[in-house]
Amino acid sequence: MERELHDRLDDLMREPHPLYARARAAQGLVHVPELAAWLVARDEDVREVLRRTEEFSSANALRPDVMPSPAALAVLAGGFGAGPVVVTSDGELHQRLRAPLVRALSPARVAATVPYARERAAALVDGFAKDGGVELMAAYARRLPGDVIGRIVGLDPADVPLVVHGGHRAEELLFRPLPEAEQIAAAQDVVAMQHVLDRCARDRYTCPRADLCTEIVASVSEPGHAELPLEQRHEAVAHLQNLLIAGHLTTTALIGTTLLHLLGHREQWELLREQPELIPAAVEEAVRHDGPLQGFRRVTTRPVTLAGTELPAGAELFVAFGAANRDALRHPRPDTFDITRSAPARHLGFGFGAHACVGAQLAREQLRITVEEFTRRLPGLRLADGHPVTMRPTMIHRSPEELHLTWPAD
Ligand code: HEM
């Protein structure tokens, strides 16, 4: 029974658009048993939920699809990270946790990171440009965002692969039904990542630097101790882990879907080669049409009515940014991928309101750099024959499982 539900959930996650279309057309809200939530699918309703933060709490925003086994939980208990995080907090606590992130990811700070991101993107492409073919997710998409966010946080570059791996393993542990031994191994990888983050936090408490780790540590602690107290170590690691996972898995996913859709619509790829000034609009269209974060949860704090449906206190909602982004009342021809749309940024792919994405500009820059690099250096890029694309079963990092690309070798 449990297994059947997971299989149905996998199917739904790989291809959610038919369900979204039904929910947008329905009277009121639709309850979806696979998601164990009311689906909010229309642009207007999604905006309303995101505006009414006192009635629709973020406390369950990241509720896992799978509860880890007791043995995996015991491994996690040996790690760090018991502390509030921005994405699941409300009100004043949320504002306190969000403030250092907004500062550290300001337009000026992001602009200062662009040369490094460009250098890393070029170096990764150098690594396979002569080969005539590549599996993009492993060789590029899982690498650039980790390097970039790692630099902003202030991680030692040698630690970035372990931290990136830990982020992917945390996602698997909480959102995929894994066998027991795999759960334990995943939990060990997560704890290894947390120890690296803890080391960084403790170091920045005594030796501050101009990086995001220092800002986060300062925001959770008081100066004057010989070393960062244990409770604040937990808080800093929770905060850092949340930011890192929010920062790299999403961007990795968007690199994959953007290239998938651009190469699947050859004329739009050719248009970008001729008119690179359209690249920012193409990135927005990729986020609108098939963005990584299809939706996050909310829970009602009191009885409320939404779209004519009465909900009791404690009702779970799945707020589907991905469904709202295909609402014909907001986006004409919503199912068509079209990089020449007149108002490309009016989508909800980076959220809206109090919890709107703090890293949107950083993600946009990495995508702009990526598409510029690929259109310029590999103009003959194509989807490789014989590798049908399947989407990963996830609502939070929607992307191809693998993306095999090919081009005429020099
Ligand atoms: C393609 C890339 C990305 C997409 C599609 C994306 C999407 C989103 C969305 C939809 C939300 C709103 C969640 C909600 O309302 O509950 C959000 C929040 C957030 N994002 Fe992003 N994001 C991306 C990249 C990034 C990056 C690069 C960072 C950090 C460097 C980041 C950090 C965050 C954080 C910390 C929040 C929580 C903000 C809050 O709760 O106040 N994201 N993101």
* Pocket flag, ligand 1, residue 85 (CB < 6 Å): no
* Pocket flag, ligand 1, residue 167 (CB < 6 Å): no
The residue to which tokens 């000026």 are assigned: 108
DSSP code at position 352: -
Distance CA 235, CA 239 (A): 6
Tell me what pLDDT residue 32 has.
Answer: 96
CATH assignment of 65-295+349-406, given 1.10.630.10, 3.30.70.360, 3.40.190.150, 3.40.449.10? 1.10.630.10
State the distance from the centre of ligand 1 to the C-alpha of 250, rounded, in angstroms.
8
Phi, psi angle pair for 31, to nearest 5°: -90, 130
pLDDT tens digits along 228-265: 999 999 999 999 999 999 999 999 999 999 999 999 99
pLDDT tens digits along 164-189: 999 999 999 998 889 999 999 999 99
Give buried/exposed letters for 240-261 (b at 16+ CB in 10 A, else e). Answer: bbbbbbbbbbbbbbbbbbbbbb
CA-closest candidate to residue 220, choices 241, 200, 210, 234: 234
Task: Over range 344-369, report the average pLDDT.
Answer: 96
pTM, full prediction: 0.96
Phi, psi angle pair for 245, to nearest 5°: -70, -45
Q: Per-domain residue ranges for the chain?
A: 65-295+349-406
Count of other CB atoms within 10 angstroms of residue 297: 21
Residue type, 298: R
The residue to which tokens 């920062």 are assigned: 247
* Pocket flag, ligand 1, residue 87 (CB < 6 Å): yes
Query: Percent of the chain having pLDDT more than 90?
Result: 92
Tell whether the model's pLDDT for residue 105 goes beyond 80: yes
Closest CA to ligand 1's atom 27: 247
* Pocket flag, ligand 1, residue 320 (CB < 6 Å): no
Q: How confident is the model at residue 64 (pLDDT cuts 50, 70, 90)?
A: confident
Contact partners, residue 293, CB within 8 Å, separation at least 6? 250, 321, 322, 349, 351, 395, 396, 397, 398
Our mutation pick for probing the ligand 1 site, out of 102, 211, 212, 357, counting the most ligand atoms within 8 A of Cβ, is 357
State the distance from the centre of ligand 1 to the C-alpha of 246, rounded, in angstroms.
6
Q: How confident is the model at residue 1 (pLDDT cuts 50, 70, 90)?
A: very low
* Pocket flag, ligand 1, residue 359 (CB < 6 Å): yes
* Pocket flag, ligand 1, residue 13 (CB < 6 Å): no
Our mutation pick for probing the ligand 1 site, out of 63, 244, 250, counting the most ligand atoms within 8 A of Cβ, is 250
Task: Over range 84-102, report the average pLDDT.
Answer: 95
Tell whether the model's pLDDT for residue 302 goes beyond 70: yes
Give the ligand 1 atom nearest the CA of 243. Answer: 35
Closest CA to ligand 1's atom 42: 359
Provide the token pair at 86: 């921005």
Query: Percent of the chain having pLDDT more than 70?
Result: 99
Tell whether the model's pLDDT for residue 409 goes beyond 80: no
Tell me what pLDDT residue 3 has.
Answer: 62
Q: What is the three-class DSSP state of 380? A: coil
Tell me what pLDDT residue 176 has.
Answer: 86
Tell whether the model's pLDDT for residue 94 goes beyond 50: yes
pLDDT tens digits along 8-52: 889 999 999 999 999 999 999 999 999 999 999 999 999 999 999
Distance CA 32, CA 314 (A): 16
CA-closest candidate to residue 259, choices 127, 106, 139, 101: 139
* Pocket flag, ligand 1, residue 294 (CB < 6 Å): no
* Pocket flag, ligand 1, residue 319 (CB < 6 Å): no
